[in-house]
Each structure stands twice: as C-alpha cells, then as structure tokens.
Amino acid sequence: MNNTFKIFKYQVYDFTKAVIIFYSIVISISLAITAFVSKGLVNVSFGGMEMVTAIFLFIAGLNCFKSNFKFMLANNVSRRNFYFGNIIALVSISAFMALLDSILNIILDFNIPYEGVVMQLYGSNSFFAGLLWCFGLYTLFLCLGWFITMLYYSCNKLMKTVISIVPVLLIALFQYIDWISRGLVNRAIVGFLDKAMGFAYNNNVYVGALSLFIGAAAIALICFLPLHNAIAKD
C-alpha cells in the first residue's frame, strides 16, 4: 500500500513537466485565437480541443512505462504495487485534465464562439456531463497508450512483429467480411458505437461516459497481463 502511493507520486511527478508544457501551448493558442476572434480579425469555428488532450494523453501513455518500470525495479517495488500506483496515477491525471479542459471550455465559450467536444457530439452543455465524458475518454486513451507500450515491452522480436501485424490483418479481415456481407460489419460497428456512446439513447452523454469508463477499466485490467511477468531489459 505504501509503495503504491510512492509509485503514484512518482508517476504524477513524471507527468508534471509534460502536462505543464502541454497546457502552456494550449492556453497560448486559446489566448491567441480569443484575441484574433475578439478583434474580428478572423472568423473561425473553433472547438473540440479535448481531442487534442486525448491524443496527448495517448502519446504520454506510450511514453510513461519503460523508464518508470526500470526505476521501480531499481527501488525494489513489486510489480503489483507498480500496477496499482500507476493505475491510480493515470486515473488521477485524466480526472485532473478533464477538469482543466472543462473549465477552459467555460472560459472559451464565454469569450468566443466555442464548442467543446461534448457539445459538438451530443449538443449537451452540462458541465458535469462534459467533465465525466472527457474523464472517461482521457482514461481510456491514457490506459490504451500504457497498455500498448507494455505489450511491446514484454514481447520478444517475433511477438512484436506478430502484434504489429495482427491489427492490420483484423482490419483487412473486417473489410473482407464487410465486402462479402454487403456492409454488415460496418453497420454493426456503427450500430454498436451508436448505442455504446449513447447517441441511440437520445444523445445520452452519461451512457457514453459509462461506456468509456468500462472500456478504460477493461484495458486497465488487461494491463496486468504483460506487466505481471515483465523483467528488466535494455
């Protein structure tokens, strides 16, 4: 338990610099756009900044494993505590950034014509729903990034190649089945997403958020598979 907290602390510390840089860029861009728009210099439709955060977190997730895992080994922390400490850190970072983005949303919306991603997708203006939805999305992306690096880390060269090819093959297979079944697969996927994301239920943001959380939890759980027997490597 004690080590879980220390790992959490270190992971948050490790993120701090990147998050500060990220937000200084986001805020400068926002300020610049606000300035231009309010002076009537440009007339851009501006919105969905949360997707930028999601991509940032995905990349951050890809980069936050190897060095921290080694550091954990250097300090003789068990993989179990490393796992829990990291999951708590990843969730906390996602929550923090969702909160910041939601606040940024309000500020931007107040000054310029701006729409957050939830407004764009669901037409909902609820602060809480937006926050929850982004929180789910960020956790999902961050955990996904983390999972992918861990998967690569724990595989040998052959398995790395296999893992890299599998998604390509799967997509090709889906396309093929889709082609012979006259769009059945595509329709199924769209239908699934439609329901999962809550569009089918009267644009329910909460259903979407719930699905995102379920997805994130599922990824977080399977993260333990590559981690539980990961060893020190170059």
Partner 1 sequence: MKTIQIKGVSKVYGHTKALDKVDIDIESNRIYGLLGRNGAGKTTLLNLMTNRIFPTEGEVIIDGERVYENDKVLGNIFYMAEKNLYPEDERVRNIYKWTKEFYPSFDMVYAEDLSEKFGLDLKKKVKSLSTGYASIFKAIAALASNTDIVLFDEPVLGLDANHRDMFYKELIANYSERPKTMIISTHLIEEVSSVIEEAIIIKEGKLILKQSVEELLSGAYVVSGETSRVDKYIQGKKCIGIEVLGSFKSATVFEAVNNKDKVLAEELQVEFAKAELQKVFIDLTN
**Interface positions with partner 1 (CB under 8 A):** 2-3, 6, 9-10, 14, 67-68, 70-71, 73-81, 229, 231-232, 234
Taking the least distance from each CB to partner 1, the nearer of 72 and 207 is: 72
Distance CA 180, CA 194 (A): 23
- Name the 3-class secondary structure at 74: helix
Q: How far is the CB of 72 from partner 1 (least distance, A)?
A: 9
Please identify, using beta-carbon distances, which residue of 202 and 234 lies nearer to partner 1: 234
Q: How far apart are CA 60 and CA 21, in angstroms?
A: 12
Cβ proximity to partner 1, 10 vs 146, nearer residue: 10
For residue 110 the two structure tokens come to: 């107040």
| Residue (of 204, 64, 57) closest to 139 by Cα position | 57
Rg of the chain in Å (alpha carbons) = 20
Closest approach of partner 1 to the CB of residue 75, in Å: 4
Distance of CA 45 to the CA centre of its chain: 24
Kindly state the smallest distance separating residue 232's Cβ from partner 1, in Å.
5
Whole-number minimum distance, CB 153 to partner 1, in Å?
Answer: 14
Q: Which is nearer to partner 1, 9 or 187 (CB)?
A: 9
* C-beta of residue 133 within 8 angstroms of C-beta of residue 209: yes
Contact assessment for residue 66 and residue 149, using Cβ atoms and an 8 Å cutoff: yes
Do the Cβ atoms of 3 and 81 come closer than 8 Å?
A: yes
Q: Which is nearer to partner 1, 180 or 231 (CB)?
A: 231
Give residues with Cβ within 8 angstroms of 173, minimum separation 6.
none
The contacts of residue 177 (CB under 8 Å, 6+ apart) are 184, 185
Question: Smallest distance, Å, CB 77 to partner 1?
Answer: 7
Q: Compare residues 19 and 49 and give the one whose CB is closer to partner 1.
A: 19
Minimum distance between the CB of residue 7 and partner 1, rounded to whole angstroms?
A: 9
